[in-house]
Amino acid sequence: MEEEKPLNGTERLFPVENGQITLIPTPTNDPDDPLNWSTWRRYWHAFLVLVIVAFTAATSNDAGTAGNGMNAQLGISWEAINVAAGVLFVGIGYCTLLLSPAPFLYGRRVSYLLCLLFSIIGSVWFARIETVEDNIWNQLLFAQLSLSDIFFQHRRGLVLGFYILATSVGTFMGPLVSGFILDSSILGWRWVGWLAAIISGGLLVLFYFGLEETSFDRKTVLDGLGVNPSEQQQQPQGSGVLSSDEKNERPPNVEPILVNSVDEESGQKKGKTYWQRIALITPSPTLIGTGFKQYCRRLYHTLGIMLFPAVIYSGLQWGAQDAWLTFYLTIEEDNYYEAPWFYTDAAVGIMNVPTLIGACIGCIYGGWFSDFFVTWTAKRNGGIFEAEQRLWLLFPVAFIGPAGLMLFGIGSDKGWNWPLPYLGLGFIGFGWGCAGDLSMAYLQDAYPEMVLEGMVGVSVINNTIGCIFTFSAQYWIDAQSLSQVFIAIGILSWAFLMTTAPMIYWGKKCRRMTQKRYENFLRIRDGHL
């Protein structure tokens, strides 16, 4: 009987005979391959990417803290401030979509630099707000790809854990720093914008000179050598596998795939110079002219990503977390200045600390521990890793996160003080860290060669959900008691997270049904586009 073709998201991670892990993606020995970078170089790049992730999240969430100042000085209502937050979600989600072809055609660097430039403009505009229209439209410029270029697939949970951790640090530290700025007797609420503009300018310089291009045309290199990356899990033993205890992530007895372009004198392929590695634009080998038509075709092609069940599922999990974020931050910034708490701006900002602590624990659980968990389950499954194995870890989150929402909401309604509302915030943070990390890792496990497009699809879906709930949050809070609101969103949160059950049950079937669509997507993307 003919052996069934391997399915995307099903990898042989632990062959029983030697306990080694298949390297995905297939490595080369090309010096420009980011997977061959030295450890310090890869982690420096990762650090820079995580810095911009954290900073973007911080600038996206610090405006609400300045709301009291805008309300008192300019008469801007909280409804208008919430509308601005909704516009922010639209900007992030759809600007991510609009920018998505750029990394494939012009390199990764240009997207980061453009986002930092927009951040400077948006921050200065925020600092100079005078009208309601200013408050709303400056948020479009705070819109936010390359960790997957420098790490192998079996490190995906850990890498995404750091990504979500950076997002959490920015999300919850942004309002904390803003609170201390507002409490300062010297600085006013406008300095929230000025400080963001100053940091954005410094990061723009740092990124221009310190961030290297990670775009690497692996397919062309491997095609030239007759290697099919999609068949790497079928390689013979001792070829393209990883020993889990090797520091440099490649066993010494395994020869990497060789590249024929070499320097005639040294016999070694020359890598790019420093100035080539930090070029503003690194054109794709497939770029035709300016690439405008290719850009438009890629943009249209990327829209098809929304039809993959794993993308919808991951976007739903992330979107729910963004939606609940609006509710509890609004309550912190609106209620806790009054009786019985009478908090200062700094004290309200400090309320984000337990949420951040919970998120950090959630990132460890959803990141490092999830990698350990899927390694263990793969060993028990005869060396076969299924993408759905990671999702089992979301079931505890389906109870902890909603419990936190209810605890915080009821405590805020009843005037509870320390520690119960803060414990609720910790639970909420744990759910925030886990839901995003685990659902994104599942998406990338399921469709490993469609990582960037998958993240774009998730961004569009989650920010659309966040926008809808943000626009309606204040009306809902005004219509019902806080207890009623937070019990309702706690139940909704549980329902969103429990969509994990059908995804575990039908996920593999969904992947098998979309296998042809996935292969066609990659063929079109890597062909004439």
Round to whole Å and give the CA distance between 377 and 470: 39
**455 vs 261, higher pLDDT:** 455
pLDDT digits (tens, 9 = 90+) for 61-91: 777 777 777 877 888 777 777 778 778 888 8
Mean pLDDT check: name the lowest of 33-37, 173-177, 494-498: 33-37
Mean pLDDT check: name the lowest of 66-70, 167-171, 435-439: 66-70
**2 vs 89, higher pLDDT:** 89
Round to whole Å and give the CA distance between 164 and 23: 24
The answer to whether the beta carbons of residues 333 and 402 sit under 8 Å apart is: no
Residues 6+ apart with CB under 8 A from 81: 63, 64, 67, 70, 71, 135
Select, from the ranges 45-49, 375-379, 506-510, 524-528, the one with the highest average predicted confidence (pLDDT). 506-510
Mean pLDDT check: name the lowest of 84-93, 343-352, 478-487: 84-93
Let me know if 464 is exposed, middle or buried by CB neighbors in 10 A (0-12, 13-18, 19+).
Answer: middle
Token reading at 261: 């372009």
Mean pLDDT value across residues 89-109: 84
Cα-based distances in Å from 328 to 133, 172, 181, 476, 501: 25, 12, 21, 13, 27
> What pLDDT shows up at residue 241?
32
Q: Is 474's pLDDT higher than 50?
A: yes
The answer to whether the beta carbons of residues 392 and 498 sit under 8 Å apart is: no
Q: What is the mean pLDDT of the chain?
A: 80
Round to whole Å and give the CA distance between 216 and 444: 19
> What pLDDT shows up at residue 266?
53
Mean pLDDT value across residues 467-476: 87
**Alpha helix stretches (DSSP H) within 367-450:** 368-380, 394-414, 420-446
Angle at 293 between CA 287 and CA 295, to 5 degrees: 70
The answer to whether the beta carbons of residues 150 and 48 sit under 8 Å apart is: no
| Bridge partners (DSSP) listed for residue 242 | 21
Q: Is 236's pLDDT higher than 50?
A: no
**12 vs 83, higher pLDDT:** 83
> What pLDDT shows up at residue 208?
94
> What pLDDT shows up at residue 218?
67
Tell me: domain 34-215+301-526, CATH 1.20.1250.20, correct? Answer: yes
Cα-based distances in Å from 81 to 137, 140, 325, 413: 11, 13, 15, 22
**1 vs 112, higher pLDDT:** 112
Residue in 83, 45, 51 with CA at minimum distance from that of residue 64 = 83
In percent, how much of the chain has pLDDT > 70? Answer: 79
Question: In 98-109, which positions are buried (b, 16+ CB within 10 angstroms) versus exposed (e)?
Answer: ebbbbbbbbbbb
What DSSP assignment string belongs to 151-182? S-GGGHHHHHHHHHHHHHHHHHHHHHHHHHHH
Mean pLDDT check: name the lowest of 36-45, 56-65, 106-115, 460-469: 56-65
> What pLDDT shows up at residue 353?
93
